Structure 1
Amino acid sequence: MYDFEIIDQLQKIDEDIDRKQLKYHSKRVLVSKEFTFDAAHHLHCYEGKCKNLHGHTYKVVFGISGFTDDRGLTIDFNDIKNIWKEKIEIHLDHRYLNKTLPLMNTTAENIVVWIYEKMAEALHKKNLGNDARIEFVRLFETPTSYAEARREWMEIE
């Protein structure tokens, strides 16, 4: 049997908990957020059905790491969502990727690097002061097939 407690009073900042207690540790932590978008594309120099115009419901997974701020947050999930909406999704959702992305073959491998670069640039400009950095982007083209870009691979010249 579970022992349930009914809370009759919420914990209050500066009364029940000191602001200095909000940050529990000084470790790097990874947070992740997922998004989906629908888009059409076709592949060049490819012999198979993907050479024809077709569409996908893509899923993008971001892994972003950083140190926690005084509130205990690495990055607000809303900040990730705003970057996605304002800087990345506008080029992808319900678009013909061959036209809206830079000239490239619109493979999952190429698109995931472009998404990584856009998020990395936006995080750099945001300058959160907690050494926030993108660790990986995973782009699912189907529920069982994805391409991934990782920081350690992207920083190798």
Structure 2
Amino acid sequence: MSKIRITKQFSFETGHALYGYDGKCRNVHGHSYKLSVTVIGTPITDTNHVKLGMVIDFSDLKKIVKEEVEDVFDHATVFNKNTPHIELAKELETRGHNVILVDYQPTSENMVIDFAEKIKARLPKEIALYSLKLQETETSYAEWFAADN
């Protein structure tokens, strides 16, 4: 049977700041991110299976991405925990803000790598993560492809 790729799209709002950056993005700001998640697999052929013909149920993929990415990053502010932004993060947290501290500079490139690892770990063994596209603005995005990694 043929391998088929399916894609589900997600969106979330996240703030961040790039410590040490030489442009405007060194300031705290936010984006309306759009994440496209593409997986690859063989459609189910068992005629007794309730998901006959599916690679993975879109709702199952949605649950994974919602729990690993959307619920975590939506309306949060992301900082590299190895920078002086840690002080700002602590202040925001004391004021009730949702702050995420990561081990990397929170660029789209690094975020898409982080998301790929989290999503791959949750997929059923017969389904592979094929690619991710994280769109930061209307004209800018980062892509991750399994074939490149």
State the TM bucket, normalised to the shorter chain. Answer: 0.7 to 0.9
**1:32–1:63 CA contact under 8 A, matched in 2:** yes
- Runs of 4+ in structure 1 deviating by more than 3 angstroms, as ranges, are none
Q: What RMSD over aligned residues (CA atoms) do the two structures have, in Å?
A: 1.1
TM-score normalized by the length of structure 1: 0.75
Deviations along 1:76-127, one digit per CA (max 9) or x if unpaired, are 100111001122222210001114152210000000000111110111xx33
Residue type matched to 1:45 in 2? G
Question: For residues 23-62 of structure 1, what are the structure 2 equivalents within 5 Å?
Answer: 26-62=1-37
88-97 or 133-142, which moves further after superposition?
88-97
Sequence identity (%): 35
Residue type matched to 1:138 in 2? K
Aligned residues: 124
The aligned counterpart of 1:122 is 122
The one of 53, 56, 76 equivalent to 1:95 is: 76
Deviations along 1:125-153, one digit per CA (max 9) or x if unpaired, are x33xxx21011000000011000111012
Q: Which runs of 5+ in 1 are unaligned?
A: 1-25
**1:91–1:101 CA contact under 8 A, matched in 2:** no
CA distance in 1, matches of 2:133, 2:40: 15
- Larger Rg, first or second structure (1 or 2): 1
Q: Which runs of 5+ in 2 are unaligned?
A: 46-51, 80-98
